[in-house]
């Protein structure tokens, strides 16, 4: 197993870029963008903000594997805590053990991410594992505060909708597609993988469609996963 270099700041820099891009774009879309449903730009912004929301969670996920700030556990945990919290008030200390349980017991009854069933039952089972009532309350409170300050359609389109769409993106490409169905006995990670296409792998879910590769080398950050694809 590779050992992360203690003075490798690339993961921290990439986490900061995602966090800044998400924040700056959200502020612009809430304060300055006039929604025009006839303009393709409105829908592009929705998709871009969705992608950045997904990037927040992927960054928190990297922190769970200690590679957001390798060799610096306090900074790594801080990055994970902040990015998870910004993604619909997820609580990093609650996510961390569940994610490692997924890696230890992938596609079994002890895997919190796994469900025997079709897409929608699996999706709702997945949400129940990770969404708590206090998160829903905080989201509702934040929504009601934001709509007092910013135009309602901006809040819905650029704050609320991208968070919802990002859960689909993460679930579909990072859980459902790679773990559905039966896997051969010689597949130790019980995980599938996307065909090699780095552009599609990035825009679909930050290379996490290369999911067998992630389970095989969980110490690699998302931005290095493509190097393992053959």
Half-sphere exposure in the Cβ direction for 62 (13 Å, CA): 34
d(CA 77, CA 204): 26
Say what the pLDDT of residue 27 is.
97
- Residue 50: partners with Cβ closer than 8 Å, 6 or more residues away: 161, 162, 165, 166, 169
- Which two three-digit tokens encode residue 31? 């304060």
Say what the pLDDT of residue 181 is.
82
Task: Report the predicted TM-score, pTM, of the whole model to 2 decimal places.
Answer: 0.92
Say what the pLDDT of residue 3 is.
44
d(CA 225, CA 114): 22
d(CA 175, CA 178): 6
Say what the pLDDT of residue 97 is.
93
Mind listing the pLDDT tens digit for each residue in 55-66?
A: 999 999 999 999
183: region left, alpha or beta (phi > 0 left; psi from -120 to 50 alpha): beta
d(CA 82, CA 56): 9
Place of tokens 């007092």: 148
Say what the pLDDT of residue 143 is.
97
CB atoms within 10 A of CB 45: 20
Query: DSSP characters for 105-130?
Result: TTTSTT-TT--SS-HHHHHHHHHHHH
d(CA 79, CA 147): 28
| Positions in the chain whose pLDDT score sits under 50 | 1-4
Annotate 145-213 with three-state secondary structure.
Answer: HHHHHCCHHHHHHHHHHHHHHHHHHHHHHHHHHHHCCCCCCCCCCCCCCCCCCHHHHHHHHCCCCCHHH
Closest CA to 50 of 160, 153, 175: 160
Say what the pLDDT of residue 184 is.
79
Mind listing the pLDDT tens digit for each residue in 94-117?
A: 999 999 999 999 888 898 888 888
Say what the pLDDT of residue 6 is.
59
Task: Classify the C-alpha dihedral 115-120-118-163 as positive or negative.
Answer: negative
Say what the pLDDT of residue 7 is.
66
Residue 229, classed as helix, strand or coil, is coil
């Amino acid at each position: 197993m590779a050992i992360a270099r203690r003075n490798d700041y690339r993961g921290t820099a990439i986490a900061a870029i995602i966090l800044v891009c998400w924040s700056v774009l959200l502020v612009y879309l809430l304060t300055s963008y006039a929604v025009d449903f006839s303009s393709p730009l409105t829908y592009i912004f929705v998709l871009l903000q969705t992608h950045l929301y997904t990037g927040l969670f992927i960054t928190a996920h990297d922190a769970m594997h200690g590679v957001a700030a390798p060799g610096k556990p306090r900074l790594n945990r801080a990055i994970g805590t902040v990015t998870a919290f910004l993604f619909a008030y997820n609580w990093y200390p609650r996510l961390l053990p569940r994610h490692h349980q997924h890696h230890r017991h992938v596609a079994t009854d002890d895997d919190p991410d796994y469900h025997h069933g079709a897409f929608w039952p699996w999706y709702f089972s997945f949400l129940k594992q990770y969404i708590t009532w206090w998160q829903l309350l905080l989201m509702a409170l934040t929504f009601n505060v934001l709509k007092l300050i910013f135009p309602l359609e901006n809040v819905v389109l650029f704050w609320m909708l991208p968070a919802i769409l990002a859960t689909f993106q993460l679930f579909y490409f990072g859980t459902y597609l790679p773990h559905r169905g039966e896997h051969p006995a010689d597949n130790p990670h019980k995980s599938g993988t996307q065909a090699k296409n780095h552009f599609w792998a990035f825009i679909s879910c930050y290379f996490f469609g290369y999911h067998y590769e992630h389970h095989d080398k969980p110490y690699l950050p998302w931005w290095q996963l493509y190097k393992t694809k053959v």
